[in-house]
Amino acid sequence: MASSLTKDSAGTAGSEKTFFGHPRGLATLFMTEMWERFSYYGMRALLPLYLIAPNGLHMNPATATAIYSVYLSLVYLLAMPGGWFGDRVWGPRKTVAIAGGVIMLGHLVLALPAEGTFFAGLGLVAIGSGLLKSNISTMVGHLYDGPDDPRRDGGFTIFYMGINVGAFAAPLVIGTIGENVNWHLGFALAALGMGLGVAQFLLGTRHLNERSLVVPKPLSADERSSTLRKSMIWLGIAAVFYIGTVVTGVYTLNWLLVPITIAGLVIPVMVLARIKRDKELSATEQKKMSGYIWFFVAAAIFWMIYDQGGSTMAIFADSSAKNSVFGWDFPVSWYQSVNPVLIMALAPVFAAFWLALNRRGKEPSTVVKFSSGLVLIGASFFLFLAPLTIAGDGHKAAAMWLVAIYFVQTVGELTLSPVGLSVTTKMAPAKYASQMMGVWFLAVTAGDCTTGLLSIAGVELNGTGVVALQAALAVAAGVAVFMYRGKVKALMGDVR
């Protein structure tokens, strides 16, 4: 990336180096996020395939999907306490450094060929990802002179490109090694990627804003003591409970999966209810939160289907698709590179398209964009019925069927996800401004936990009836949001 550094003619004395015209620290955070996503998406592409492989853990598809879904839900569930640690305990910079180390350790543990250590590794990666996710974005914001800095939006765009570069490359490298050479070597490569990310982060911290070292609202001595005491009590209760299930011989994997999936559904409801019941919110803020719940539920349905691209669809591809193009075979994990490359190709097109419509006064409202995203994600699963039917007749489905499904899902993502992030910040009550991004991530948690519960219950998620039902649910939700758009707009107040 050295070639992208140029002299900043607008900087002090014209000597400050920049990264594509942005503060030099953006390069550090870009590369950290790129390597973290490289490790995360590489491991994620291998995960369901390793769980069902005869030379892996050889689980049934339902259990593999449940584990995959619970893992994803944990990553997003832990983003809220991760942000809390950055705000109250370590500060963003220290939290990200520690998080990177925890993620790297998690991948190294995954590389050990044992089932027990495998789940410990998954837990460590989820904890580290939760700690890193909120805080690294906060540090990007610190690089700029407040929300009105004209470079700010462009800086976040460059930063998010790092996510997609890492996500695109990971399945091609880690997936290929994991599937074709050795699963655990693939997980070890993910650890190497995170190690590179941590190393360059530590080397580049001098370019970051000093605000990233500050703990914005540090815990008092009493708060620290109380938090530690409560944490140890809950940890002790969990340890006693699970040791008891193991000693008595009643422990199964569901003793771990079911509580997490239930928590992933209950916690979002509790958080939203707590905010709604807060009597300190003004009447306008209360109305906006009522409107936001519509978006939250819609997003949960969207992510429930979308995230099955890495589980239900990947497992289908492994057993029932012709994973070849023009006679050239490729690893199943490579399908996970389709979405990020489409994001990189289509995101600028969508941005220009919305801008062009806005100039003509014809840009769709937030509500219409959301409803369109839901209809598209439903359409993608209606499209999924075609390869499922082909496989049901005893034939292998062409790879392009799956590529087409990922394409429709990506268009849906670009319609809904950026809008969801934006509307979350716009509709957030002032008291919860810093917490609302974590609330948005809870929609992902709720969607993935729904998938996890269905899998635990033994529902065959790649059955045509279940796929059709999910598709119909998403389309019906999209139509409902569109039909009630007037009511939702009224609740949104001045937000558009």
Task: Write the pLDDT tens digit of every residue in 139-170.
Answer: 888 888 876 677 877 788 788 888 899 999 99
Q: What is the pLDDT of residue 12?
A: 36
Rounded average pLDDT per 10-residue block, the chain, 496 residues: 39 55 90 93 94 94 95 92 89 94 96 87 94 87 79 81 93 96 95 95 93 90 93 94 91 91 95 91 90 93 96 96 92 96 92 89 90 97 97 93 97 90 82 80 95 94 95 96 87 72
What is the pLDDT at residue 147? 66
Output the pLDDT for position 9: 36
pLDDT per position as a tens digit, 202-244: 999 999 999 899 988 899 999 999 999 999 999 999 999 999 9
Supply the pLDDT for residue 32. 94
Q: How do strand 321-322 and strand 397-398 relate by DSSP bridges?
A: parallel
Say what the pLDDT of residue 234 is.
93
Q: Which two tokens stand for residue 389?
A: 């039917």
Instruction: Give tens-digit pLDDT for 41-51.
Output: 999 999 999 99
In this prediction, residue 271 carries a pLDDT of 93
Predicted local confidence at residue 3, as pLDDT: 37
Reported pTM: 0.90
pLDDT at 354: 87
pLDDT at 216: 87
At 496 the pLDDT is 63
Per-residue pLDDT, 149: 77
Structure token digits, residue 259: 């509580």
Q: What is the pLDDT of residue 307?
A: 96
